Amino acid sequence: MSKYLVDKFLYTVDRDPDLVERYRTAPRETVEWWEQSRANEVLNCHSGEASTWLRFTDSERSALIDHDHVALFELGAHPFLTLTLFIAMFERDHGPLEYQKAYGARLAHFSMPYPDIAT
Protein backbone atom coordinates (compact mmCIF):
# COMPACT_ATOMS: atom_id res chain seq x y z
CA MET A 1 0.00 0.00 0.00
CA SER A 2 1.23 3.49 -0.84
CA LYS A 3 -0.47 5.72 1.74
CA TYR A 4 2.23 8.33 1.18
CA LEU A 5 1.40 8.52 -2.51
CA VAL A 6 -2.35 8.80 -1.91
CA ASP A 7 -1.76 11.58 0.62
CA LYS A 8 0.62 13.29 -1.80
CA PHE A 9 -2.07 13.16 -4.51
CA LEU A 10 -4.70 14.63 -2.18
CA TYR A 11 -2.30 17.33 -0.96
CA THR A 12 -1.02 18.44 -4.37
CA VAL A 13 -4.39 18.40 -6.12
CA ASP A 14 -6.03 20.37 -3.29
CA ARG A 15 -3.47 23.15 -3.62
CA ASP A 16 -4.09 23.78 -7.32
CA PRO A 17 -7.56 25.15 -8.22
CA ASP A 18 -7.22 23.97 -11.82
CA LEU A 19 -6.40 20.44 -10.68
CA VAL A 20 -9.32 20.48 -8.24
CA GLU A 21 -11.69 21.22 -11.12
CA ARG A 22 -9.99 18.72 -13.38
CA TYR A 23 -10.24 16.00 -10.72
CA ARG A 24 -13.90 16.86 -10.07
CA THR A 25 -14.93 16.60 -13.72
CA ALA A 26 -12.51 13.99 -15.08
CA PRO A 27 -11.29 11.86 -12.17
CA ARG A 28 -9.98 8.88 -14.15
CA GLU A 29 -8.00 11.03 -16.54
CA THR A 30 -6.66 13.20 -13.71
CA VAL A 31 -5.56 10.25 -11.56
CA GLU A 32 -3.89 8.54 -14.53
CA TRP A 33 -2.17 11.77 -15.64
CA TRP A 34 -1.01 12.58 -12.10
CA GLU A 35 0.33 9.07 -11.53
CA GLN A 36 2.28 9.21 -14.80
CA SER A 37 3.61 12.77 -14.57
CA ARG A 38 3.59 13.91 -10.94
CA ALA A 39 3.72 10.90 -8.61
CA ASN A 40 7.49 10.60 -8.65
CA GLU A 41 8.34 14.30 -8.36
CA VAL A 42 10.00 15.30 -5.12
CA LEU A 43 7.87 18.03 -3.51
CA ASN A 44 9.35 21.41 -2.60
CA CYS A 45 12.59 20.67 -4.38
CA HIS A 46 14.21 22.03 -7.52
CA SER A 47 13.07 20.39 -10.73
CA GLY A 48 14.84 17.30 -11.91
CA GLU A 49 14.70 15.45 -8.59
CA ALA A 50 12.44 12.41 -8.88
CA SER A 51 12.02 8.82 -7.88
CA THR A 52 10.97 6.12 -10.29
CA TRP A 53 9.05 3.48 -8.37
CA LEU A 54 5.94 5.08 -6.86
CA ARG A 55 2.58 3.78 -8.10
CA PHE A 56 -0.93 3.50 -6.72
CA THR A 57 -2.29 0.06 -5.91
CA ASP A 58 -5.36 -0.94 -7.91
CA SER A 59 -7.61 -0.32 -4.90
CA GLU A 60 -6.11 3.13 -4.26
CA ARG A 61 -6.45 4.10 -7.91
CA SER A 62 -10.06 2.90 -7.97
CA ALA A 63 -10.98 4.78 -4.76
CA LEU A 64 -9.42 7.98 -6.12
CA ILE A 65 -11.19 7.63 -9.47
CA ASP A 66 -14.51 6.95 -7.73
CA HIS A 67 -14.09 9.88 -5.29
CA ASP A 68 -14.70 7.27 -2.57
CA HIS A 69 -13.60 8.90 0.67
CA VAL A 70 -14.79 5.92 2.73
CA ALA A 71 -12.55 3.52 0.79
CA LEU A 72 -9.68 6.02 1.00
CA PHE A 73 -10.12 6.17 4.80
CA GLU A 74 -10.11 2.36 4.97
CA LEU A 75 -6.90 2.35 2.95
CA GLY A 76 -5.25 4.78 5.39
CA ALA A 77 -5.51 8.09 3.54
CA HIS A 78 -5.36 11.00 5.95
CA PRO A 79 -8.97 12.11 6.54
CA PHE A 80 -8.09 15.80 6.77
CA LEU A 81 -6.50 15.73 3.32
CA THR A 82 -9.49 13.91 1.87
CA LEU A 83 -12.00 16.20 3.57
CA THR A 84 -10.38 19.46 2.48
CA LEU A 85 -10.09 18.35 -1.15
CA PHE A 86 -13.61 16.94 -1.25
CA ILE A 87 -15.02 20.13 0.29
CA ALA A 88 -13.31 22.08 -2.49
CA MET A 89 -14.90 19.81 -5.08
CA PHE A 90 -18.38 19.15 -3.70
CA GLU A 91 -19.43 21.71 -1.07
CA ARG A 92 -20.78 24.01 -3.80
CA ASP A 93 -23.43 21.38 -4.60
CA HIS A 94 -24.84 21.45 -1.05
CA GLY A 95 -26.09 23.87 1.59
CA PRO A 96 -23.87 25.13 4.43
CA LEU A 97 -22.18 22.20 6.19
CA GLU A 98 -24.41 19.64 4.43
CA TYR A 99 -21.47 18.07 2.62
CA GLN A 100 -19.32 17.90 5.76
CA LYS A 101 -22.14 16.24 7.71
CA ALA A 102 -22.77 13.72 4.93
CA TYR A 103 -19.03 13.03 4.73
CA GLY A 104 -18.95 12.27 8.46
CA ALA A 105 -22.12 10.19 8.34
CA ARG A 106 -20.60 7.91 5.71
CA LEU A 107 -17.70 7.25 8.11
CA ALA A 108 -19.91 6.70 11.17
CA HIS A 109 -19.74 2.91 10.94
CA PHE A 110 -16.03 2.94 11.82
CA SER A 111 -15.08 2.27 15.42
CA MET A 112 -11.83 2.49 17.30
CA PRO A 113 -9.18 1.70 16.43
CA TYR A 114 -9.43 3.63 13.18
CA PRO A 115 -7.35 2.64 10.16
CA ASP A 116 -3.70 3.57 10.54
CA ILE A 117 -2.97 6.85 8.72
CA ALA A 118 0.77 6.93 9.44
CA THR A 119 2.95 7.16 6.37
Domain-embedded: residue 117: no
Query: Is the confidence at residue 79, as pLDDT, over 70?
Result: yes
User: To the nearest whole number, what is the mean pLDDT of the chain?
Assistant: 86
Domain-embedded: residue 111: no
Q: Is residue 116 part of a domain?
A: no
pTM: 0.84
What is the model's pLDDT at position 40?
Answer: 72
Query: 44: domain range?
Result: 3-105
3-state secondary structure of 26: coil
Rounded distance between C-alpha atoms, residue 99 and residue 90, angstroms: 7
The tally of domains found in the chain comes to 1
